Amino acid sequence: MSQKAYSFPNWRGAGIGIAAAVSLALANSVAFAGSVNTQAAQLFELQAEFHGAATVHDPVNGDSAGVIDQRIRDMLALWTSDGSITLEVGGARDGDYSGLGDPSDPASCPTPSADPSNRGTLCTFFKYVAGSFQAANKFVSLAPSYKTNFSIHGNDASVYFECHYFNVAVDPMTGLPLWKAVSHVTFDGTAQKVDGTWLFLHSDARVVGVPVP
């Protein structure tokens, strides 16, 4: 009687193949997570630069006109060329501000118009409307990290953070900063990655309350 030959699966080879597939999946997962973490870190840096530009640089004497103009330019550098803000705080200057502009150029940085659908440029907003850029004010912008959120989708991201402004002018009675709350608004909008750099695209700015976690 002839013996029947049996063929057994190459479990060792299959195991190596499975292990390789698992390793590749894990590597791709780690690479994806690393990419997301990198993008989130860049967006955190972007919003930190926003608050840095929105904060007085000389809380004792106040910023000069030249310093304020540079702070505005630093702020505008964080936005896309078609960036926009919709201000909705219940004030006389609520409306839409779009495009960049330069604080030294009245043509691209005009005073706010009477048309809520086109108040002017982002430069208009920061130069004439945003309290933190007014020469008489000594404001700092603080943002609780637990209220900051980014949702990243490729080269686009939704962005949410809060701006809590405080007057740090010196109290003549105590010689210490007043730390008096003056304004609380949201940045609820979007960012876009342009040529490898994250920039703000749009923000709805509204009044926000106490930042409870």
pLDDT tens, 125-160?
999 999 999 999 999 999 999 999 999 999 999 999
Q: What's the pLDDT score for residue 37?
A: 87
Q: What's the pLDDT score for residue 8?
A: 43
Average pLDDT estimate for 199-203: 98
Cβ proximity of 184 and 207 under 8 Å: yes
Q: Which amino acid is at 119?
A: R
Percent over 70 (pLDDT), the chain: 84
At residue 25 the predicted structure's pLDDT band, cuts being 50, 70 and 90, is very low
Which residue has 């080879």 as its token pair? Answer: 13
Q: What are the backbone dihedrals phi and psi of residue 122, each rounded to the nearest 5 degrees, phi first?
A: -60, -35
- Which residues in 56-68 are b (16+ Cβ under 10 Å) and which e? beebeebbeeeeb
pTM, two decimals, is 0.83
At residue 19 the predicted structure's pLDDT band, cuts being 50, 70 and 90, is very low
pLDDT at position 82 over 90: yes
At residue 32 the predicted structure's pLDDT band, cuts being 50, 70 and 90, is very low
Average pLDDT estimate for 172-182: 94
Q: What's the pLDDT score for residue 10?
A: 55
- Class of domain 11-206 (CATH, top level): alpha beta
Q: Is 93 helix (H, G, I), strand (E, B) or coil?
A: coil
Q: What's the pLDDT score for residue 4?
A: 46
pLDDT at position 40 over 90: yes
